[in-house]
């Protein structure tokens, strides 16, 4: 089998397939020279207890047992800042992480289990059981699209198709004193249908924003950083960006020989853009399905049973937020109501 993409979705799939024991030759292809680099992520992750509250019935605690060096900072909650400037605190447990190290951890596990990892290899299309790269075509019984929001695998396979409602993001990693135990999320029409985030990482922070429409996220971020620098000292060490799919779980995740997982499948909470934990969970389910030689339809059925409802709720919340994002007064009112009804629903759905 060929897995396109060496992020958590693809590498957890390969690790769970366990090629040495299952006898399934597994090749992971990735266009990057170094796994996880450059980072294209806000670097926040719910802990396993939080994930079980969001997605009841999951059984993947081992995926959240990370070696030293991945988790940077414990998060006890989220601070939500309304357009009026009023701040509210919601209970949401998790960590901030070094995302490149997380990806490398999962890639090392996959290789240890017998998967072959081939970097600096860009897939240009998938056709009739063949993965086409700039080099030799590769035939495969199963082809797995774990290649992110703009999935080449999904775009190549009739019936799967591209993601919808993409959000453009820009972020920086900065050096400074960021030991707070709350993630900050700022909402309002200033952020053009998205929000501004600050994820503290102890001696670092991941700071960024996502926007909808034609707004330039980097220009908005630079203006926000200039304001932030007047009250807090920091030094920029990395600048990144990317896109996040906010359209919810795709209508179709697999056919007989091709499956999508992670961002390629729309496994992202549309109300907040978080998808790493979903990718890990779905990768385990897909790997179990392949290892046991069961039809890929079983994978899709299991994923929908666990993820379809929470992702659909999150999509409903995103659409509700879309109505208020350009009306600061309505958004202020909605956030006051959320302070009474519960913040988990506001951000997760």
For residue 101, give the CATH number of its domain.
3.50.50.60
Looking from the CA of 325 toward its CB, the CA atoms found within 13 Å total: 20
Share of the chain above pLDDT 90, in %: 85
The answer to whether the beta carbons of residues 285 and 302 sit under 8 Å apart is yes
How far is it, in rounded angstroms, from Cα 261 to Cα 10? 7
> How many residues belong to the chain?
349
pLDDT digits (tens, 9 = 90+) for 132-191: 998 889 999 999 999 999 999 999 999 998 998 899 999 999 999 999 999 999 999 998
The answer to whether the beta carbons of residues 162 and 150 sit under 8 Å apart is yes
| Closest C-alpha to 199, from 276, 102, 98, 280 | 98
Q: Mean pLDDT, to the nearest integer, of 35-60?
A: 94
Calculate the CA dihedral of residues 346, 63, 99, 90 and round it to 10 degrees.
20
Angstrom CA distances, 111 to 31, 50, 63, 105, 268, stand at 17, 29, 16, 10, 26
Is residue 341 scored above 90 in pLDDT? no
State pTM to two decimals: 0.95
- Number of domain units in the chain: 1
Is residue 32 scored above 70 in pLDDT? yes
| CA dihedral over 75, 232, 218, 70, signed as positive or negative | negative
Confidence of residue 349 (pLDDT cuts 50, 70, 90): low
How far is it, in rounded angstroms, from Cα 230 to Cα 51? 36
Answer with the residue of higher pLDDT: 112 or 349: 112
How far is it, in rounded angstroms, from Cα 272 to Cα 349? 9
Whole domain around residue 120: which residue ranges? 2-348
């Amino acid at each position: 089998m060929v897995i396109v993409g060496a992020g958590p979705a693809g590498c957890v799939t390969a690790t769970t397939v366990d090629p040495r024991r299952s006898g399934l030759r597994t090749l992971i292809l990735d266009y990057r020279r170094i796994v996880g680099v450059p980072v294209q992520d806000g670097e926040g992750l719910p802990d396993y207890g939080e994930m079980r509250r969001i997605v009841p019935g999951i059984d993947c605690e081992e995926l959240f047992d990370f070696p030293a060096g991945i988790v940077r900072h414990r998060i006890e909650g989220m601070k939500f800042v309304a357009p009026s400037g009023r701040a509210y605190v919601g209970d949401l447990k998790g960590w901030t992480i070094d995302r490149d190290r997380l990806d490398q951890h999962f890639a090392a596990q996959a290789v240890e289990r017998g998967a072959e990892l081939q970097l600096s290899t860009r897939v240009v299309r998938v056709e009739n059981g063949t993965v086409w790269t700039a080099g030799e075509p590769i035939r495969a019984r199963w082809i797995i699209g774990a290649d992110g929001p703009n999935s080449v695998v999904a775009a190549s396979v009739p019936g799967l198709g591209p993601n919808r409602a993409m959000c453009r993001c820009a972020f920086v990693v900065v050096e400074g004193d960021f030991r707070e135990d709350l993630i900050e999320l700022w909402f309002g029409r200033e952020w053009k249908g998205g929000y501004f985030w600050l994820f503290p990482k102890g001696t670092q922070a991941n700071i960024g924003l996502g926007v909808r429409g034609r707004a330039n996220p980097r220009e908005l971020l630079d203006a926000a950083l200039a304001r932030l620098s007047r009250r807090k000292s920091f030094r920029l060490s990395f600048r990144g960006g990317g896109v996040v799919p906010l359209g919810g779980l795709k209508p179709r995740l697999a056919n007989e020989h091709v499956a999508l997982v992670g961002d390629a499948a729309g496994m992202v909470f549309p109300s907040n853009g978080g998808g790493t934990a979903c990718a890990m969970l779905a990768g385990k389910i897909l790997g179990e399905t392949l290892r046991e030689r069961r039809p890929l339809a079983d994978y899709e059925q299991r994923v929908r049973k666990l993820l379809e409802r929470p992702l659909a709720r999150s999509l409903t919340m995103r659409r509700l937020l879309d109505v208020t994002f350009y009306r600061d007064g309505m958004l202020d009112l909605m956030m006051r109501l959320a302070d009474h009804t519960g913040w988990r629903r506001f951000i997760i759905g």
